[in-house]
Structure 1
Amino acid sequence: MPDAASNQPSGNNKKNNRQRAATAAKTKSAKPHYSGHRQRLRQRFAEHGDQVLADYELLELLLFRTIARADTKPLAKALLNRFGSFAGVLGAEPHLLREVSGCGEAVAQDIKLLEACARRLGKSEILNKNILDSWSKVIAYCMTAMAYENREQFRILFLDKKNRLIADEVQQIGTVDHTPVYPREVIRRALELSATALILFHNHPSGDATPSRADIDMTKLIISIAAPMSITVHDHIIIGKAGHISMRGAGLI
């Protein structure tokens, strides 16, 4: 029968146990404060969708895919602080994104990829439909596509006789406060596409969507040239960061 002493841990075993306990304690204390945060955030999104997430949390979910091991909350908040909103982050130019500490080439590329997906989704919502019956979706698409451009763009939706989209084209890109528009070129392109109606759009990078006198005069000139060709100009929409103004809705055309 073994004596009691043989059941007691040896000196070496005691030492090893203490070392293992110390290592475990050190590992636990070294665990990052955000440990488990990713899984909890993913779980919330899986169970409840984006409605329960703040903008910075939704942005964090995107950043998880590019940044494998780091706390992404500071970067998400820094991006929102720099660009003002979730839409502002997606619409920011890549070189401006990269100016934010922690936002490298891969992160900037993923953000622009998400913006491209949003544009593609928005455009799919208005294809093969009567545009005039999907007006809110048309506005949403053009806001996504143009609101955060840092130069003025003049964009045209060319429509068929059933007001379905034939083509969506950026006709001109200008400076921060001016885009040259050539009305006869607009009508020439409409005739090439056999379009019978147009919706004109352009953005104001300043953020103020108020039409200028030049905007109104140019629109009226396009309408006057289009009318004898049996081409209808449904509207000219000015896009700003905070909203839009319909010239027809405002009684300007």
Structure 2
Amino acid sequence: MSEAPLLSVRGLHKSFGALHVLKGVDLAVRSGEVAFLIGPSGGGKSTLIRCINFLETPSSGEITFDGRPLCHEDGRIFHLAPERVLRAARSEMPMVFQHFNLFSHRTVLENVIEGPIMVKRRPRAEAIADAERLLREVGLHDKSDFYPDQLSGGQKQRVAIARALAMRPKLILFDEPTSALDPELVAGILDTIRALADRGMTLVVVSHEMAFARKLADVVHFIADGTIMESGPPDRIFDNPQNPRLSGFIRSILH
């Protein structure tokens, strides 16, 4: 892994009206690292990665991605990078959503090639060849002409992962990728994510799959009440937590 973080978040705040959701979050993710965000519902996990991807605009703080400042503060003035810079960064760290967010009126293949053609401006033939390869990798090469409503939840999520990979990303954000799936479909998605980690991809995963986090993560961040309360390697986080809130959270999950 490189010394400088691929992604750096410092002092990040996010409010929705009077609701203060993120309260000064600091986070660093290095290239090739698999980082899991765990914690109670409503603690700020999903809001954090939506701010990282600028699907939500932070209220204050700093985000730097691949050496490029995306937002920062100058005194008390909060600055966003130009939209073209944010758009370029977003294309290099796509998000896989819990509810898939596929275009229902487009085929599987059309969903996968949309970003590379419209955002990355790649030739259509190149985008199609890349998409066909990725669909084979996720086991859906025979579904390219299907529409999302013809697929199972697990298949939809694998299309969403292929769509993210088609952007040739530097980092992929996963927001509860298995929470909308029936239990029998979860293992297939976890296997797909594991394969990405085995390839050395940089992943940030919001998940309630504690056993999976323990096996796959390089680092686990525990988020509650809008702050990262404890971070560390999975064995220490799960076996020897230092923060009382984390200890209580783990006990509630295990029992």
TM-score (norm. length: structure 1): 0.31
The TM-score, its normalising length taken from structure 2, stands at: 0.30
Structure with the largest fraction of strand: 2
Q: Which has the higher contact order (CA 8 A, sep 6+)?
A: 2
Larger Rg: 1
Q: Considering fraction of residues, name the structure with more helix.
A: 1
